[in-house]
């Protein structure tokens, strides 16, 4: 049997976890390999990078999509179990489970960047079909980035508040603020003072100061919280502030920052994860591709 694609793995994976017990990655791989009757050579087949097997990679992607739909969860690293929604789905249908089915769930719509779930059963699945090789690379890169962003936010929420403060310092320094890492570390950490968690230099010379509010938030951050931060800035006679959260901001909060004199930049969880990826904070490069084209000038002879 050929190695199944990651969508074909979704239902067998849910059924493997259906008893509610926690399963390690290795236990799941072994069970699914037996289910699909994969040969030893198929299990050893590597990705082009040579750093991971194809089957393990596809199982990991199946887990990612099921987890974003709220059908499975991970109580600790490398361990998975079925969620109540996953059990309900298995009981409600015996049909294959794929990305089209997952689009019924709001959390998965958000993961895929979709907000409208109307007529989801009738809407065709938006998957790339006729694409150039370059488009395939860009699409795949974007999918990997989306998954990585979700993993970053989940990991941040599991870490203590002090870690989040250090993370903010690392990110702002990587973006060019705060001068040296040592200067920035001394500047931030004066938290709990009138709604301000810290301060950092805007540039290496310290010509201006930026005040910071950095909060790991579960719910949506509304206007009152942002307004409280703006009031704290006025108390310090400050003109610039950055409000960073692992959550999102309401439309009213965003409109409020546009209307006031102080300049407050709102960085939500999605933007935070994106900035961390762009500036190499908490991530590492495992593979790089070089795309080359024909150099027409090389083939032009001397005239």
Residue 168: both structure tokens together: 């903010």
pLDDT of the residue at 121: 42
Output the pTM of the full model. Answer: 0.69
pLDDT of the residue at 2: 87
Give yes or no for a contact between 159 and 184, defined as CB atoms under 8 angstroms apart: no
Is 26 inside a domain boundary? yes
Are 105 and 175 in the same domain?
no
Q: Which of 127, 143, 169 is the last residue of a domain?
A: 127
Instruction: State CA 117 to chain mean position distance.
Output: 21
CATH number at residue 191: 3.40.1350.10
Is 153 inside a domain boundary? no
Are 10 and 123 in the same domain?
yes
Are 181 and 271 in the same domain?
yes
d(CA 217, CA 138): 32
Is 224 inside a domain boundary? yes
Is 135 inside a domain boundary? no
Are 117 and 177 in the same domain?
no
> Cα dihedral angle (300, 301, 302, 303), rounded to 10 degrees?
-80
pLDDT of the residue at 120: 42
d(CA 101, CA 98): 5
CATH number at residue 70: 1.10.10
Residue 180: both structure tokens together: 């040296």
DSSP sequence for 64-99: HHHHHTTSEEEEETTEEEE-HHHHHHHHH--S---H
Is 151 inside a domain boundary? no
Is 213 inside a domain boundary? yes
Are 109 and 46 in the same domain?
yes
Mean pLDDT per segment of 10 residues, for the chain of length 303 residues? 90 97 96 96 86 89 93 92 97 94 92 56 44 71 89 89 85 82 56 65 78 86 92 86 93 93 92 95 88 80 55
d(CA 298, CA 131): 29
Is 262 inside a domain boundary? yes
Domain count, the chain: 2
Are 11 and 122 in the same domain?
yes
Is 267 inside a domain boundary? yes
Range of the domain at 66: 6-127
Are 252 and 181 in the same domain?
yes
pLDDT of the residue at 125: 43
CB burial of 1-38 (b: ≥16 within 10 Å; e: otherwise) equals: eebbebbbbbbbbbbbbeeeeebeeeebbebbbeebeb
pLDDT of the residue at 301: 61
pLDDT of the residue at 1: 67
Are 180 and 117 in the same domain?
no
pLDDT of the residue at 181: 64
């Amino acid at each position: 049997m050929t190695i199944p694609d990651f969508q074909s793995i979704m239902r067998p994976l849910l059924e493997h976890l259906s008893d509610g017990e926690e399963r390690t990655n290795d236990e799941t791989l072994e069970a699914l390999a037996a289910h699909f009757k994969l040969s030893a050579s198929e299990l050893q087949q590597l990705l082009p990078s040579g750093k991971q097997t194809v089957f393990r990679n596809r199982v990991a992607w199946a887990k990612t999509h099921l987890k974003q739909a709220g059908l499975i969860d991970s109580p600790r690293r490398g361990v998975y179990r079925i969620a109540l929604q996953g059990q309900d789905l298995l009981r409600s249908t015996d049909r294959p489970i794929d990305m089209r089915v997952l689009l019924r769930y709001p959390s998965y719509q958000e993961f895929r960047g979709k907000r409208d779930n109307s007529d989801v059963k009738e809407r065709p699945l938006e998957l790339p079909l006729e694409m150039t090789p370059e488009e395939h690379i860009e699409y795949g890169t974007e999918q990997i980035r989306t998954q990585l962003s979700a993993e970053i936010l989940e990991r941040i929420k599991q870490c203590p508040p002090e870690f989040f403060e250090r993370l903010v310092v690392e990110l702002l320094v990587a973006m060019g603020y705060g001068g040296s890492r040592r200067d920035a570390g001394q500047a931030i950490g004066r938290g709990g003072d009138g709604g301000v968690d810290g301060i950092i230099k805007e540039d290496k010379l310290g010509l201006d100061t930026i005040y910071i509010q950095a909060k790991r938030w579960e719910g949506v951050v509304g206007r009152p919280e942002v307004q409280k931060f703006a009031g704290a800035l006025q108390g310090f006679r400050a003109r610039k502030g950055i409000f960073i959260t692992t959550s999102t901001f309401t439309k009213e909060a965003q409109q409020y920052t546009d209307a006031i004199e102080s300049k407050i930049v709102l960085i939500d969880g999605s933007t935070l994860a994106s900035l961390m990826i762009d500036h190499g904070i908490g991530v590492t490069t495992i593979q790089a591709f070089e795309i080359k084209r024909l150099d027409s000038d090389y083939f032009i002879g001397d005239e």
